[in-house]
Amino acid sequence: MHETSPTSDDLEKNHRRLPWLALGGIALVLLVPLIWLVGFYDIPKPDDSRMIPQWSERDPTTNPLIVFCDEIQRSAAKKYSDLPRDMTARLDAGDVQPAREFLAKQSDTLAAFDKIRHTDSTTWLWPDGEAMTSPHYAADYLSTCNVVVKVVLLKAKLLAREGKEDEAMRLCLDVAKLGAGMQRAEGCPVHLMVANGIQAMGENHCITLATSQTFTRSQILQTLRELSTMEGPRREDLSFAMQADYQMFLHYLELFEQAKGTSGITGAPKRMPKFLLKRHRTINMRLDRDLPIREGLDRGWREGLKAGLLADAAFEELAAKRRSIGFFLDSNFVGKICIVLCSTPMRATFRSNMNACAAQEQRRVLLALRLYEMDQGGLPASLEALVPTYLPEMPEDIYSGKPMLWNANDKVVYSTGENGIDDGGRINEAQPRKGLDVGRAYPWANAPLTSPAHE
């Protein structure tokens, strides 16, 4: 056989291929790191020191709130759900005896409440501290706290029925103080929400008791004084809860990276390419949201709300693009999905806390209005008439920073609410999220203007 010698045409073709082969090799060399940069490169770890909560040391055997949460879990408080709904709502005359029988079986529940209400609330701390930021953490004691409060308020209703109004009011005030103390006890957003609700339940029952026709001027004055000493939700407590929520977010990312709990806890699809998650870029996105809100909170409620609404607008825009092709062209689309699934919108959080602040102020105004009416024989045209005899200063609308509003014709004290628009006192007390004003109607429509003879 004879070997075929390359012809001049073959040599020329090979010579022409050489530049293209060289360019292809260079492109391949450049493409590999480019793919790595786009697909796998992450930024350095961002500074999140401002989002790390400083947890206080807690002794589970001596801290009053931790002991309380432990004791009520072993009590019979949950039997409250067995009571008829009508009985828990109104406690009519026919419900008195069943209520007595029920409360007779709640000695452990009432003893736990009695014990904690005589402790220093500034020392209270929620159970478990940092452990509560784990996605697997079960805070069953929170629902039990709510039930215990309802048991105590049922006792207050029974005492009022028996003519023991001072004792009933004392219990309602102590329920409000329990909620106020819980707000300072270092918790997550859900702890703060439960605490706000407990304080509101206690204060609302104070107002209900005060509308009794047998309630005297001196009793209303004393109730106003005690409510005036209580703080509502504080910015620093919400700020701490945001830090705790950020720690929960970090735990969610860890679970996602480990492919644990992705369908249940994080809500992420099981087939999502977890290796494409840019952890630090994702954390940086969350910090870009949270840090401006905390900085706003440092300056005031309205500044925090403004930052929160801006963050929510960006969040909603991100969520709306989630099903678009462009969303998945981002090299960190996996991180964006984690942000959407594992971050709580701030609008509802601010609304809950600021509405609670507004409602607390309004309850004090209602009591002051009642005192004015009992003294003057009618309600004032303006809240300015309450200062300084009944209130030390004009009550402030937390949303506008201006004086609280009063519709004398409809007898409604109100705040403009989140949108800052004065709707003339149009409110929906049952659903204060309807975009109307946030307020309360004056509840003494048919009560006598003079104090009972026994005052």
Q: Which residues contact 416 (CB under 8 A, 6 or more apart)?
A: 397, 399, 400, 405, 422, 423, 437, 438
pLDDT digits (tens, 9 = 90+) for 28-59: 555 555 555 555 677 899 999 999 999 999 99
pLDDT of residue 139: 93
DSSP-derived secondary structure for 398-443: TTTSSBPEEETTTTEEEE-TTTT---SS-B-TT-TTSSSBEEEE--
pLDDT of residue 91: 84
pLDDT of residue 268: 58
Strand order in the sheet with 438-441: 405-407, 412-415, 438-441
Token digits of residue 58: 């807690």
- Asked whether the CA dihedral 141, 142, 146, 147 is positive or negative, the reply is negative
Q: How far apart are the first and last CA of the chain?
A: 131
| Residue 232 and residue 360 in contact, taking contact as beta carbons nearer than 8 Å | yes
| Residue 444 and residue 451 in contact, taking contact as beta carbons nearer than 8 Å | no
pLDDT of residue 455: 44
Rounded-to-5 percentages of helix, strand, coil across the chain: 60, 5, 35
| Positions in the chain whose pLDDT score sits under 50 | 1, 261-264, 452-455
Give the integer Cα–Cα distance in Å for 146 and 72. 11
Give the integer Cα–Cα distance in Å for 358 and 360. 5
3 state DSSP class of 309: helix
| Residue 244 and residue 133 in contact, taking contact as beta carbons nearer than 8 Å | yes
- Using alpha carbons, select from 350, 341, 336, 337 the residue that is nearest to residue 307: 350
Give the relative orientation of helices 189-210 and 165-183 as an angle to the nearest 10 degrees. 160
| R_g of the chain computed on alpha carbons | 31
- Sequence ranges of the domains in the chain: 238-344, 348-455
Give counts: helices (H), strands (E), the chain.
15, 3
- Using alpha carbons, select from 206, 198, 92, 87 the residue that is nearest to residue 141: 198
pLDDT of residue 273: 66
Q: Which residues contact 433 (CB under 8 A, 6 or more apart)?
A: 351
